[in-house]
């Protein structure tokens, strides 16, 4: 396991892209635009999304980290389960915001091997803060099952902005409804690479690894540096 003090020191030294220099920070990390936070955005609820900001990100095709309009190409982070479902549930990012995220995010960087428990809300004393109106929902189908479980592999995919198509999945009795980027057909994905391996004990059919292997057989390897 990564020593937390070592990791904090590494994050403190991680350069922040120019695009993010004015973004709020907490614990040495930029607070993503879509992350739920108190009025003082240096006090985020890590692991929880702001539903209002998330709708804005989907509607206007904004970067989930900086909140600015996406440019071509858009970067996606997805798991094999997302590809199997045909929808990337994480909103897109600019390449430089993606590079920063995969270096500082404990899950994307591989610093943690298990998903965190469902985050809880803490009210603050600021009367102007909206936290007084936050409602903690029940975990969606399948969400509680993932809490504390071994992390899956994560992949970075690049797609053309013209292929950034937002779709909705109604879900099933075992999976929650979701909004995300359409991953079908697979030709939408221009570049693809694995950025972290699955943790020991994770059991997921990894069709993304098979997709990379198939592309390597028939084309030159086309992966971002």
The answer to whether residues 49 and 35 touch, using CB atoms and an 8 Å cutoff, is yes
Q: Is the pLDDT of residue 180 over 80?
A: yes
pLDDT at 12: 52
Three-class SS state of 12: helix
Q: Is the pLDDT of residue 15 over 60?
A: yes
Instruction: For residue 212, give the H/E element and its range.
Output: helix 207-218
pLDDT, mean over the chain: 85
Instruction: Give the residue extent of every domain in the chain.
Output: 4-116+135-218
Tell how far CA 214 is from the center of its chain. Answer: 26
Using 50, 70 and 90 to split pLDDT, how confident is the model at 187? confident
Q: Starting at the edge strand that comes first in sequence, how are the strands of the sheet with 166-169 ordered? A: 87-88, 178-182, 166-169
Q: Is the pLDDT of residue 221 over 50?
A: no
> Taking the model in full, what pTM does it have?
0.84
> Across residues 41-48, what is the average pLDDT?
91
Using 50, 70 and 90 to split pLDDT, how confident is the model at 6? very low
């Amino acid at each position: 396991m990564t020593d937390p003090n070592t990791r904090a020191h590494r994050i403190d030294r991680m350069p922040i892209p120019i695009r993010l220099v004015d973004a709020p920070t907490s614990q040495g990390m930029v607070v993503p635009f879509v992350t739920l936070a108190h009025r003082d955005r240096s006090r985020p609820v890590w692991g929880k999304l702001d539903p209002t900001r998330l709708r804005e990100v989907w509607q206007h095709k904004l970067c989930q980290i900086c909140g600015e309009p996406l440019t071509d190409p858009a970067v996606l982070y997805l798991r094999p389960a997302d590809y199997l479902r045909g929808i990337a549930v994480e909103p897109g990012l600019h390449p430089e915001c993606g590079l920063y995220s995969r270096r500082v995010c404990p899950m994307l960087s591989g610093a943690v091997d298990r998903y965190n428990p469902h985050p809880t809300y803490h009210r603050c004393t600021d009367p102007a803060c909206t936290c007084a109106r936050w409602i903690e929902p029940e975990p969606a189908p399948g969400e509680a099952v993932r809490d504390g479980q071994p992390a899956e592999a994560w992949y970075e995919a690049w797609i053309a902005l013209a292929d950034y198509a937002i779709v909705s999945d109604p879900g099933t009795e075992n999976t929650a409804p979701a909004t995300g980027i359409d991953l079908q057909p697979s030709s939408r994905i221009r570049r693809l690479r694995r950025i972290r391996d699955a943790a020991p004990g994770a059991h997921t059919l990894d069709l993304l690894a098979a997709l990379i292997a198939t592309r390597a057989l028939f084309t030159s390897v086309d992966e971002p540096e």
